[in-house]
Structure 1
Amino acid sequence: LQILMNRKKINKEYLIYQFKSYLRTLLFGTMKGITFLGFACLFRNIFGKFHHYTVAFLPAFACGFSIMIEEKSKQQLYSCAFLTLVSEYVARQLIQAKIFKLTRTRLCVCHMISSSAVMYLLRNSRGKQLPKLSSYWFFEPPKNELRVDPSNEQANKFGCYHEEPCWIHNLKSSSKYLGAGLALELLRALLKEMNRILHCPLDVLKKLLKWKTFSFGIYLGSYVFLYHLVNCLLYRYNDGDMEWHAIPAGFIAGAAIVFCPNLSLFFMATTTIIQELIKRGISAGIIPPSKMLFVFCFAFMNGILYHSRLYNKEICSSFVTNMIDTCSGDVSRKILTTYEKLRVLHEGN
Structure 2
Amino acid sequence: MSQVFSKIPASAPITSSCMNYVHPWTDSCLQAICGLYLYCIFDCLRIYGSVYVLTLLMKGRIPTKNDIKHTLYGILQSTAFLSGTGFGYSLFLCSLRKLMGNFNILTVSAIPAFLASVFSILIERPSRRTLLCLYVSNVATETVWNMAVSRNYVKNIKYGDAAIFSSSIALLLMYFKGGHHKKSGNEDSMFRVLRFVIGPYEEKDYTSSRSSQANSFYRQQEQNDGRSRSGSWQRSRPKTNFVLHIVNQMLSIYKKIINKIKCCDRHHACPHPFSCLYYTMQGAGKMFSIGLGIQISLKLLLNMKSIFQSPANVKRIIWKKETLNLASFLGAFSGLFRSVSCILRRISGKDDPKHAIPAGIIAGMAFTRYPDTTVSLYVLWKAAQVTYNIGIEKGVLPKVPGFTEFLYCFSTAILFHAAILEPTNLRPSYWKFLHSISGGRIACMNRIPLDAWGLNTSESLRTVLAQTKTVPVVHF
State the TM-score, normalizing by the size of structure 2: 0.57
Contact 1:86 1:305 in 2 (8 A): yes
Structure 1 gaps of 5+ residues are 1-8
Which amino acid is 2:399 matched to? P
Counterpart-to-counterpart distance in 2, 1:234 and 1:14: 49
Counterpart-to-counterpart distance in 2, 1:27 and 1:201: 42
1:151 aligns with 2:213: yes
Contact 1:185 1:216 in 2 (8 A): yes
Contact 2:139 2:374 in 1 (8 A): yes
SS in structure 1 opposite 2:180? Answer: coil
Which amino acid is 1:338 matched to? M
Structure 2 gaps of 5+ residues are 1-57, 220-262, 459-476
Contact 2:169 2:383 in 1 (8 A): no
2:158 counterpart residue number: 104
SS in structure 2 opposite 1:150? Answer: helix
Task: Report the Cα offset of residue 43 of structure 1.
Answer: 1.9
Go from structure 1 to structure 2 and tell me whether the alpha carbon gap of 1:34 and 1:149 turns closer, same or farther (over 3 Å shift). Answer: closer
Which amino acid is 1:298 matched to? Y
Q: Deviations over 1:175-196 (max 9, x none)?
A: 5655665566566666766766
Counterpart-to-counterpart distance in 1, 2:86 and 2:281: 50
Task: Report the Cα offset of residue 78 of structure 1.
Answer: 2.5
Q: 1:338 aligns with which of 445, 457, 462?
A: 445
Report matched runs for 1:296-335 at 5 Å: 296-326=406-436, 328=437, 330-331=438-439, 333-335=440-442
Q: 1:60 aligns with which of 104, 107, 113?
A: 113
SS in structure 1 opposite 2:188? Answer: coil
Task: Report the Cα offset of residue 162 of structure 1.
Answer: 2.0
1:35 aligns with 2:80: no
The higher radius of gyration belongs to 2
Contact 2:129 2:404 in 1 (8 A): yes
1:288 counterpart residue number: 399
Q: Deviations over 1:186-235 (max 9, x none)?
A: 66666766766655777797566555555344323322221122123333
Contact 1:64 1:303 in 2 (8 A): no
Go from structure 1 to structure 2 and tell me whether the alpha carbon gap of 1:185 and 1:128 turns closer, same or farther (over 3 Å shift). Answer: closer
Which amino acid is 1:37 matched to? G
Which amino acid is 1:270 matched to? L
State the TM-score, normalizing by the size of structure 1: 0.75
Mean Cα deviation higher: 132-141 or 316-325:
132-141
Contact 2:332 2:366 in 1 (8 A): yes
Q: Deviations over 1:42-83 (max 9, x none)?
A: 124312366544454344332465445555443222322322
2:249 counterpart residue number: none
2:21 counterpart residue number: none
1:231 aligns with 2:341: yes
Task: Report the Cα offset of residue 257 of structure 1.
Answer: 1.4
1:4 counterpart residue number: none
Which amino acid is 1:86 matched to? A
1:12 aligns with 2:70: no
Which amino acid is 1:164 matched to? F
Go from structure 1 to structure 2 and tell me whether the alpha carbon gap of 1:11 and 1:44 turns closer, same or farther (over 3 Å shift). Answer: closer
Greater RCO, 1 or 2 (C-alpha within 8 Å, sep 6+): 1
Report how many residues are paired: 338
CA RMSD of aligned residues (A): 4.3
Q: Deviations over 1:107-143 (max 9, x none)?
A: 4445433333332244335377458473447425731
Go from structure 1 to structure 2 and tell me whether the alpha carbon gap of 1:240 and 1:305 turns closer, same or farther (over 3 Å shift). Answer: same
Counterpart-to-counterpart distance in 2, 1:324 and 1:194: 27
